[in-house]
Structure 1
Amino acid sequence: MKGRGCWETASVRSFCSSGCLNKFKKDDSGDDDEEPAAPADNSELHHTLKTLSLKLNDLSTCNDLIAKHGAALQRSLNELDSLKIPSECGEKLKVVNERATLFRITSNAMINACRDFLELAETHSRKWQRALNYEQEQRVHLEETIEQLAKQHNSLERAFCNTPGGPASSSKSFSEGSFLTSKGENSEEDEDTEYFDAMEDSTSFITVITEAKEDRKPESGPGTTTVDWTSADNVCEVLDGASFMPKDSCKVKRRVRIPDKPNYSLNLWSIMKNCIGRELSRIPMPVNFNEPLSMLQRLTEDLEYHHLLDKAVNCTSSVEQMCLVAAFSVSSYSTTVHRIAKPFNPMLGETFELDRMEDMGLRSLCEQVSHHPPSAAHHVFSKHGWSLWQEITIASKFRGKYISIMPLGAIHLEFQASGNHYVWRKSTSTVHNIIVGKLWIDQSGDIEIVNHKTKDRCQLKFVPYSYFSKEAARKVTGVVSDSQGKAHYVLSGSWDDQMECSKIVHSSPSSDGKQKTVYQTLPAKLLWRKYPLPENAENMYYFSELALTLNEQEDGVAPTDSRLRPDQRLMERGRWDEANTEKQRLEEKQRLSRRRRLESCTAGCGGEEEKESDGYVPLWFEKRLDPLTGEMACMYKGGYWEAKEKKDWHMCPNIF
């Protein structure tokens, strides 16, 4: 009991006091029918103890009644026995008397057992009550202590920022995303910061760079195609910085800024201290913790470096094409390095389209297809000859000192001309320093990209940050192999900056006895580099140029589009109080819709089936069996772009 109380109080830091958050009692995603928004452990214990006390009183009453009625029955039988009655009745009366005696003996045994249980329960109940009161006092004291420490830390940060040279150094540290601070600077948070083991053996290979003239043709196994590195211009040429900038070939003028983020004070502590271990989407959150984009728009933001796939279309070698696909999969994390705010949880049936054929050469559609768990389906078509689709379910947990975000679901990418079909899954994101210190995000885990046509594979490793490691932060390494398991390319870089690839000319086991492979490679070639952030990005939620345009109002979109969501629009304009009120209205509207679906589904659904589904059917996607993964996933069934062309949205639900 005591350990649990201490753990539950290890909660989120308090930036500064604010009383506006206590009124947000509902689920952030708008449905609290399945579990309470904020369970109160103390109230539940009090209720349990009260119920036990009532049951003990009932037992005591039953004990008294059995003793009373048993004595009355015995007196009646004694009176009957003294009467003069025929012998036949006397025999029956004797049998009844014997049975009454047995009942009395049994009742006395039960009464004695109940009395013993009652005394024991009352004794332990008093002990439990004293222990509960003690734990409550300790918890309140610990909460007050930690909250006071968090406020003092916040005051120290403000004082430091106001000192000469303070803001500049602080801004520099944050803009670089630096969390490589000295041990002395982080000594007060050593117990609350998650450190991984030293990463000396983190990579499974060692690369040795050699000159191009030393290139030796590797041994070719059966069915292996040897690729001429010097002739692969589409992937090998070193691109200069200008070639990575998006080309403004579109006639539509896109916005380049949004209103600056208001400097509102907020109190994380009051919301998160009782939510350790819970699903993040079920924690009640006001818009103060959000950025003015929905999860559907964040999912679409993965297409920012679509030019990597446009280049990959022209690759004649599947292993070289794999290098560009791997770089594209890594590039989707580059926007997360400073983006610590939470995107809006989409309403069920909410959509988001990105119709950018003129400048980006693609069309993208997302739809929120499930509410619990939150799940979004996504489909992209490019005029350059590739398609991408996925259904992503976000699983997240608040662990007290960090938040884990685990995207579940497979991502499919298919090139029409070659028929190459790639499948991979996303890595785990972790938000650190929840209690105290600067928030920072890390990516960790292994990703395997498989070309299901050629059986080529790419193993990517996102190296978790370690205080004791000499490795660069946010490091990503990988190896591209063909269907025979022969390695062709080594990939290296960081998920927030750039990725490079090097052609392998020779491989051999490590000579130091460790289970590593030494790859001799040609000099690295640049595959991808992150675009610079727009000017004043730190005041615009660190949005990229593409992110700034995603919530721009546009005519002709479906009435369920995220850009038409009123609370998100109010939040973007800085009217957060109005946005919070509007958010509550939308969530209540969504809860009412769900209750109506459940009521209509009750007649036609069985008991178990009803628990699994609330009767909602996505509008633009449908559940199908994925033949490659063997999982059921939502795939685009068509009709959206045709409806947009006809300006016919009569089938869309009214969710806003």
Structure 2
Amino acid sequence: MINEDEFFDAVTGLDSDESCEGVSEASFKDAVLFDSKSQKNNGSVPQENGIKKHRTSLPAPMFSRNTISIWSILKKCIGLELSKITMPIAFNEPLSFLQRITEYMEHTYLLNKACLLPDSTARMQAVAAFAVSAVASQWDRTGKPFNPLLGETYELTREEQGFRLISEQVSHHPPVSAFHAESLAGDFVFHGSIYPKLKFWGKSVEAEPKGTITLELLKHSEVYTWSNPYCCVHNIILGKLWIEQYGTVEIINHSTGDKCVLTFKPCGMFGKELHKVEGYIQDKSKKKLCVIYGKWTECMWSVDPQVYESHKKSEKKDNKKQKNEELEGAVNDDADDMPEIQETVSVIPGSTLLWRIDSRPPQSAVMYNFTNFAMALNELSPGMEAVLAPTDCRFRPDIRAMENGDMDKASIEKERLEEKQRAARKDRAKNDEEWSTRWFQNGTNPYTGSQDWIYSGGYFNRNYQDLPDIY
């Protein structure tokens, strides 16, 4: 079996210990020379003012993959679904997909805010901002999360943010991840099941969002549902990797009939629309109540519909001449060039800020472009081993090895775990046994009528008997 160093050398002609392309030597050293005390405690730090402080870096910087070619792997997969294709571990990031979907909760304060707002339109604005913020962490995150093993779980409790979450990999083929989060104060329940379809289109990989997300604001007896936009990673074969989100997201308030329609705009020929999100909130009679606009990588605002339309008309006149000039300079290229957009969101006078993205830690560029929230997701502090289920992602040896910078061990462990999973599936088939989920049950979403995985409860009772041995 070829190890990661040999793979890297073979496809790039470079040594695997070279620093990441585009990252200064100083930044690279800063990422490596982090506090030794944090390293001994896996990055965790003591409590401060009664609130636990989580680690802000990983034990080791990322493995350089910027010039690795995967054409030899993907050239036969154009137009096909990629869930059954084994990818080199160099293209992963040290998180399970169960941990990745937990990043929906990074901006939980928006849900807490929605619970306090007396007006249904204001609540929809907060929910819409939360839906956009849920994909914000994907900006520049070109690494692939590890596919969860069947029966794998992930638990996250954040007392400072006021929630706890449990997720479980409930199906392997097709891969389905179910999650359930709840407010510690009893204000909301947030749940769903996700099964993205990945397809390779020659120069890009597209993730089609499958699955419904449901939010219940218990105090207001309101239920919202929506699905995520499409996500595309460009320049898989040639050029700099970059991410685009596009498609229409409809957030429905099943209690009032209000609807928020958000359009994640495709990049366009010159990148003018890159990262832009525009939409509106309408009531059950289809009257527009407000317009929402911004960028999913930056911030979201709301404004009165009439003010928005007046602004757009004046803006259209100013842009017409500029567009004609740009058409004259259009060029074609083999790579999908990422437009060099310098502008921030142009705020319309009279707008109200709904959400603004948090800044990333200074060492993020050499640590998989993780946010502060993502940095702590695989943290295993002293004492957690006695509390977590043995199926928790934090105990996966391949992810732990990759996080620690040991790519050879990570690759070996990943192959071992996958082979163990295949052997267990064969044993079940031989004995005519069916897989049984532990914390979620297959059912119907009562608000959409679609198939969904519903949390059956009991995880936080800490009864971990009869859990599968998957690691």
Match of 2:354 in 1: 527
TM-score by length of 2: 0.80
Aligned residues: CA RMSD: 2.8
Structure 1 residues 506 and 493: alpha-carbon distance in aligned structure 2, compared to 1, 3 A threshold: closer
Matched, 1:274 2:71: no
Aligned to 2:209, what secondary structure does the other structure show? Answer: strand
Match of 2:320 in 1: none
Q: What is the rounded CA distance, in whole Å, between the counterparts of 2:236 and 2:313 in structure 1?
A: 43
Q: Which amino acid in structure 2 is aligned with residue 635 of structure 1?
A: I
Matched, 1:485 2:286: yes
Where in structure 2 are the equivalents of 1:65-464 lying within 5 Å?
251-258=51-58, 259-263=60-64, 266-356=68-158, 358-384=159-185, 385-464=187-266
Q: Which amino acid in structure 1 is aligned with residue 63 of structure 2?
A: P
The answer as to whether partners of 1:18 and 1:267 remain within 8 angstroms in 2 is: no
Aligned to 1:330, what secondary structure does the other structure show? Answer: helix
Match of 2:336 in 1: none
Q: What is the rounded CA distance, in whole Å, between the counterparts of 1:446 and 1:294 in structure 2?
A: 27
Cα displacement string for residues 604-624 of structure 1 (whole angstroms, at most 9, x for unaligned residues): xxxxxxxxxxx2121000011
Of residues 379, 384, 406 in structure 2, which corresponds to 1:552?
A: 379
The answer as to whether partners of 1:21 and 1:270 remain within 8 angstroms in 2 is: no
More helix as a share of residues:
1
Q: What is the rounded CA distance, in whole Å, between the counterparts of 1:490 and 1:248 in structure 2?
A: 40
Q: Report the Cα offset of residue 263 of structure 1.
A: 3.5
Structure 1 residues 262 and 468: alpha-carbon distance in aligned structure 2, compared to 1, 3 A threshold: closer
Q: Which amino acid in structure 2 is aligned with residue 337 of structure 1?
A: W
Match of 1:621 in 2: 440
Q: Report the Cα offset of residue 334 of structure 1.
A: 1.1
The answer as to whether partners of 1:373 and 1:394 remain within 8 angstroms in 2 is: no
Structure 1 residues 248 and 420: alpha-carbon distance in aligned structure 2, compared to 1, 3 A threshold: farther
> How many residue pairs get matched?
402
Q: Report the Cα offset of residue 522 of structure 1.
A: 6.5
Percent of pairs with identical residues? 40
Q: Which amino acid in structure 2 is aligned with residue 20 of structure 1?
A: F
Which structure has the larger Rg?
1
Structure 1 residues 22 and 620: alpha-carbon distance in aligned structure 2, compared to 1, 3 A threshold: farther
Cα displacement string for residues 430-465 of structure 1 (whole angstroms, at most 9, x for unaligned residues): 111122110101001001100000000001000000
Structure 1 residues 506 and 549: alpha-carbon distance in aligned structure 2, compared to 1, 3 A threshold: closer
Q: What is the rounded CA distance, in whole Å, between the counterparts of 1:548 and 1:344 in structure 2?
A: 16
Matched, 1:576 2:378: no
Gaps of 5+ in 2: 28-46, 317-347
Matched, 1:20 2:7: yes
Structure 1 residues 580 and 346: alpha-carbon distance in aligned structure 2, compared to 1, 3 A threshold: same
Match of 1:537 in 2: 364
The answer as to whether partners of 1:503 and 1:522 remain within 8 angstroms in 2 is: no
Q: What is the rounded CA distance, in whole Å, between the counterparts of 2:50 and 2:195 in structure 1?
A: 33
Cα displacement string for residues 38-82 of structure 1 (whole angstroms, at most 9, x for unaligned residues): xxxxxxxxxxxxxxxxxxxxxxxxxxxxxxxxxxxxxxxxxxxxx
Match of 2:465 in 1: 650
Match of 1:199 in 2: none
Q: What is the rounded CA distance, in whole Å, between the counterparts of 1:583 and 1:436 in structure 2?
A: 27
Q: What is the rounded CA distance, in whole Å, between the counterparts of 2:117 and 2:378 in structure 1?
A: 34
Q: What is the rounded CA distance, in whole Å, between the counterparts of 1:19 and 1:361 in structure 2?
A: 46
Q: What is the rounded CA distance, in whole Å, between the counterparts of 1:291 and 1:575 in structure 2?
A: 13
Q: What is the rounded CA distance, in whole Å, between the counterparts of 2:313 and 2:179 in structure 1?
A: 47
Q: What is the rounded CA distance, in whole Å, between the counterparts of 2:253 and 2:235 in structure 1?
A: 38
Cα displacement string for residues 86-110 of structure 1 (whole angstroms, at most 9, x for unaligned residues): xxxxxxxxxxxxxxxxxxxxxxxxx
TM-score by length of 1: 0.58
Q: Report the Cα offset of residue 320 of structure 1.
A: 1.1
Match of 1:563 in 2: 394
Match of 1:593 in 2: 424
Where in structure 2 are the equivalents of 1:29-48 lying within 5 Å?
none
Gaps of 5+ in 1: 1-16, 24-146, 172-246, 515-520, 603-614
Q: What is the rounded CA distance, in whole Å, between the counterparts of 1:567 and 1:289 in structure 2?
A: 14
The answer as to whether partners of 1:250 and 1:359 remain within 8 angstroms in 2 is: no
Structure 1 residues 22 and 282: alpha-carbon distance in aligned structure 2, compared to 1, 3 A threshold: farther
Aligned to 1:300, what secondary structure does the other structure show? Answer: helix
Q: What is the rounded CA distance, in whole Å, between the counterparts of 1:310 and 1:434 in structure 2?
A: 39
Aligned to 2:394, what secondary structure does the other structure show? Answer: helix
Q: What is the rounded CA distance, in whole Å, between the counterparts of 2:276 and 2:283 in structure 1?
A: 24
Q: Report the Cα offset of residue 475 of structure 1.
A: 0.3
Q: What is the rounded CA distance, in whole Å, between the counterparts of 1:490 and 1:650 in structure 2?
A: 51
Of residues 453, 456, 460 in structure 2, which corresponds to 1:637?
A: 456
The answer as to whether partners of 2:391 and 2:470 remain within 8 angstroms in 1 is: yes
Q: What is the rounded CA distance, in whole Å, between the counterparts of 1:249 and 1:482 in structure 2?
A: 44
Runs of 4+ residues deviating >4 angstroms: 247-250, 264-267, 505-512
Q: Report the Cα offset of residue 254 of structure 1.
A: 1.6
